[in-house]
Amino acid sequence: MTHDNSDPGHGNSPAAWTAVIIMLVAFTIGTVAFFFSIAWVVWASAGLAVAGLIVGIVLAQLGYGVGGSRHVPKKVH
């Protein structure tokens, strides 16, 4: 099996994990709020999802993204 060094890592970085967790929480809250017809919470969770995207981008710019200066990739055995 060959290892391709140009593999971007599939987003396995602190920036990606943080963004995804924030957005998953936002979508979960939004889904529950939509079920109970609480419109303002649905819109607030949509804002939280956008904030998660922004947090991911900012963390990637700070070096926590794949290939960033502060990201330490896991070793593949």
Domain count, the chain: 1
Q: Is residue 69 part of a domain?
A: no
Domain annotation covers residue 31: yes
Q: Return the closest-CA partner of residue 56 out of 25, 31, 21.
A: 21
- Residue 48 in any domain: the answer is yes
Full domain range(s) for residue 54: 14-64
Q: Per residue in 15-59, pLDDT tens?
A: 999 999 999 999 999 999 999 999 999 999 999 999 999 999 999
Rounded mean pLDDT, 45-74: 90
- C-alpha distances out from residue 22 to 45, 51, 68, Å: 10, 8, 21
Check residue 77 and give its pLDDT: 63
Residue 55 falls inside a structural domain: yes
The per-residue pLDDT for 1 is: 46
- Residue 33, domain member (yes or no): yes
In a domain, 76, yes or no: no
Q: Which residue has better confidence, 48 or 73?
A: 48
In a domain, 27, yes or no: yes
| Residue 23 placed within a domain | yes
Is the pLDDT at 67 greater than 50? The verdict is yes
- For residue 31, what pLDDT is reported? 98
Q: Which residues contact 63 (CB under 8 A, 6 or more apart)?
A: 69, 70, 71
